[in-house]
């Protein structure tokens, strides 16, 4: 039973996993992208760009003259965790009987949690006029700040123009909105555990996470790694059950990129437990670590697949073609990395269409520049697939005779009979005529024997019979395809054509057998009483008494 490099169960598991992953790589539209969050980073940066000074209206110590200035003041106090001051920006009149004015700081704290988790405010869109927006479809004393998505639909966050107590009207967070803060916090807040932890740990943020959230991140990562460790340990045991051989490549893949990928997937499935803010969710929705883990796992999976293909090709005798797997592997890996980068850029909010169009034009230019290289690469693929020659074969290409030493990605190397090396581009080598001399099942030996014109018919008959006997009895001569014939009377000799196939593929052995045949034919001719002749010519010199033969 042949040893399997990887079990069928493992491949089924990996393919199922990889089919699910593409849908998890792209960001959803439920949260703002990281690019949008960076552009609207914090209140201080926004205040530097947006005019908060009203052009008219009464003076107010808290800056509640316009909807915009009041929202900016409320946002500043909340970001500084000054909930006592934040109460001055909230209309606490006419609240439901379950709420009281003394609940104001706690409501402000819950408002901060809801705002960090679900609100995106466009400060430029908020009116900077003491009268507010008069054409927004709302009563003249109300202005919309933003809307929060809940399970029951969108909930408007409203500012309302209310009396200050001295006859002056100012803008505060509407009491209708204040009344909804407990329900919004119930659905969008930290939850029971988060509420307790947020009161225990100090209010200090790093990359959009509070300290208690970083603690939960650490706990979830450790739990995810332990979960992944158990899964990958069971998976590797399943693989090793089918073979006694230690699968080092499979072990590196399972205990490396696959284990990290499962850890990341576990963390993503439990991420909502830490109640992340919009900034943290934007970082999360970029799927940076997931994309890195997926690309790393895919690269490892490609190595496994190509390694398995290479082993099969070697067993089938196509060891030379394994070299083609290297550029194929590189091309696939570069494509995967490119897709990962483009997906990540799309997730953080950048338009990748322009980038892809530019790369398309650049790709065409590169393709034209690398036309010869691509032709040679395609030629190497043709040579490896059709296999007209192998490394070590003795072949003839044009006027060049030599042994194939290497079939590279650009050129094929021939070691000539003069021991020099000829590099032939694969684009040319794969399209021109190649004579593979090594693949001959036998080698032809063809020559003419020229006997003296004085050879008698009986002597000629003895020579022909002797050579035919040699053809029939010699173990290295294919007697069925070989022949010897008295061909013609030449100008200076009687010519016999010898046409024999020597049963060998090795050229050195062919030379040895041809030498043996020649010696035996020479003995046959000698025993018949005749002899071989060479061309002669008679030259008459002026003044000479007899001709001179050359």
CATH architecture entry for 373-436 = Roll (2.30)
The segment(s) of the chain belonging to CATH 3.30.70.100 are 443-528
pLDDT class of 492 with cuts at 50, 70, 90: confident
Query: Would you say residue 234 has pLDDT above 70?
Result: yes
d(CA 343, CA 294): 12
> Is residue 490 helix, strand or coil?
coil
CB atoms within 10 A of CB 254: 23
pLDDT class of 281 with cuts at 50, 70, 90: confident
CB 156 within 8 A of CB 144: yes
DSSP structural state of residue 202: -
* DSSP secondary structure string for all residues of 337-375: HHHHHHHHHHHTT---HHHHHHHHHHHHHHHHHTHHHHH
DSSP structural state of residue 198: H
Nearest to 399 by CA among 433, 427, 431: 433
pLDDT at 316: 65
* DSSP secondary structure string for all residues of 444-490: EEEEEEEE-TT--HHHHHHHHHHHHHHHHH-TTB-TTT-EEEEEEE-
Assigned token pair, 296 = 């790393």
* Structure-model confidence comparison of residues 488 and 334, the more confident one: 488
pLDDT class of 244 with cuts at 50, 70, 90: low
* DSSP secondary structure string for all residues of 266-310: HHHHTGGGG---HHHHHHHHTTHHHHHHHHHHHHHHHHHHHHHHH
| Tens-place pLDDT, residues 41-65 | 544 454 445 555 555 667 888 888 8
pLDDT at 341: 82
pLDDT at 549: 54
Q: What is the mean pLDDT of the chain?
A: 79
CB atoms within 10 A of CB 287: 22
CB 184 within 8 A of CB 169: no
Share of the chain above pLDDT 70, in %: 76
Across the range 437-460, mean pLDDT stands at 89
**What are 401's strand-pairing partners?**
396
pLDDT at 501: 93
The segment(s) of the chain belonging to CATH 2.30.30.60 are 373-436
DSSP structural state of residue 4: P
pTM of the model: 0.55
Across the range 391-403, mean pLDDT stands at 87
At what angle are helices 371-386 and 353-369 packed, to 10 degrees? 80
* Structure-model confidence comparison of residues 360 and 238, the more confident one: 238
Query: Would you say residue 498 has pLDDT above 90?
Result: yes
* Structure-model confidence comparison of residues 215 and 348, the more confident one: 215
pLDDT class of 360 with cuts at 50, 70, 90: low
Lowest mean pLDDT among 27-36, 143-152, 327-336: 27-36
Structural element, H or E, at residue 224: helix 211-240
pLDDT at 515: 94
CATH architecture entry for 443-528 = 2-Layer Sandwich (3.30)
* Structure-model confidence comparison of residues 26 and 78, the more confident one: 78
Across the range 316-333, mean pLDDT stands at 69
In 400-472, at which residue ranges do the beta strands (DSSP E only) sit?
Answer: 400-407, 411-416, 421-425, 434-436, 443-451
Across the range 464-481, mean pLDDT stands at 91
DSSP structural state of residue 87: G
* DSSP secondary structure string for all residues of 147-161: EEEETTEEEEEEEEE
Question: Which are the contacts of 85, defined by CB distance < 8 A and separation ≥ 6?
Answer: 62, 77
pLDDT at 381: 73
Across the range 26-30, mean pLDDT stands at 50
pLDDT at 24: 52
Query: Would you say residue 491 has pLDDT above 50?
Result: yes
């Amino acid at each position: 039973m042949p040893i399997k490099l990887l079990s069928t169960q493992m491949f089924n598991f990996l393919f199922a996993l990889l089919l699910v992953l593409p849908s998890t790589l792209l960001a959803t539209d439920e949260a703002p992208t990281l690019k949008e969050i960076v552009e609207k980073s914090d209140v201080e940066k926004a205040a530097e760009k947006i005019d908060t000074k009203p052009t008219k209206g009464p003076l107010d110590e808290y800056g509640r003259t316009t909807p915009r200035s009041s929202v900016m003041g409320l946002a500043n106090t909340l970001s500084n965790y000054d909930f006592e001051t934040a109460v001055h920006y909230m209309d606490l009149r006419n609240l439901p009987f379950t709420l009281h004015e003394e609940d104001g700081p706690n409501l402000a704290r819950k408002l901060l949690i809801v705002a960090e988790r679900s609100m995106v405010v466009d400060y430029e869109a908020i009116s900077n006029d003491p009268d507010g927006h008069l054409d927004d479809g709302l009563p003249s004393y109300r202005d919309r700040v933003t809307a929060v998505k809940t399970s029951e639909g969108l909930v408007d966050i409203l500012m309302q123009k209310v009396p200050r107590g001295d006859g002056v009207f100012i803008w505060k967070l509407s009491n209708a909105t204040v009344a909804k803060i407990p329900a919004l916090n119930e659905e969008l807040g930290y939850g029971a555990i988060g509420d307790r932890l947020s009161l225990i740990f100090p209010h200090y943020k790093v990359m959009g996470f509070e300290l208690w959230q970083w603690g939960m991140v650490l706990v979830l990562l450790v739990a995810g790694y332990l979960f992944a460790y158990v899964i990958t340990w069971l998976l590797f045991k399943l693989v090793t059950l089918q073979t006694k051989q230690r699968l080092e490549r499979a072990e590196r893949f399972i205990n490396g990129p696959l284990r990290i990928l499962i850890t990341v997937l576990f963390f993503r499935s439990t991420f909502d437990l830490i109640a992340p803010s919009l900034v943290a969710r934007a970082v999360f929705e970029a799927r940076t670590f997931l994309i890195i883990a997926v690309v790393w796992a895919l690269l490892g999976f490609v190595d496994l697949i190509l390694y398995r293909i290479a082993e099969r090709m070697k067993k089938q005798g196509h060891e030379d073609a394994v070299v083609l797997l290297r550029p194929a592997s590189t091309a696939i890996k570069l494509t995967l990395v490119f897709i990962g980068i483009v997906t990540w850029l799309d997730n953080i909010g950048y338009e990748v269409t322009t980038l892809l169009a530019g790369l398309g034009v650049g790709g065409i230019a590169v393709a034209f520049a690398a036309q010869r290289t691509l032709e040679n690469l395609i030629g190497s693929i043709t040579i490896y697939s059709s296999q007209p020659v192998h490394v070590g074969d003795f072949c003839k290409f044009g006027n060049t005779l030599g042994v194939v030493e290497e079939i590279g990605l650009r050129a094929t190397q021939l070691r000539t009979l003069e021991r020099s090396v000829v590099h032939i581009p694969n684009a040319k080598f794969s399209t021109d005529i190649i004579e593979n001399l090594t693949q001959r099942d036998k080698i032809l030996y063809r020559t003419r024997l020229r006997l003296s014109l004085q050879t008698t018919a009986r002597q000629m008959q003895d020579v022909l019979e002797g050579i035919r006997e040699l053809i029939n009895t010699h173990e290295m001569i294919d007697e069925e395809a070989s022949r010897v014939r008295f061909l013609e009377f030449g100008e200076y000799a009687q010519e016999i054509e010898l046409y024999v196939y020597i049963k060998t593929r090795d050229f050195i052995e062919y030379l040895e057998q041809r030498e043996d045949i020649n010696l035996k034919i020479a003995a046959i001719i000698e025993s018949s009483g005749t002899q071989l002749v060479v061309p002669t010519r008679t030259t008459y010199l002026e003044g000479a008494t007899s001709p001179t033969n050359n």
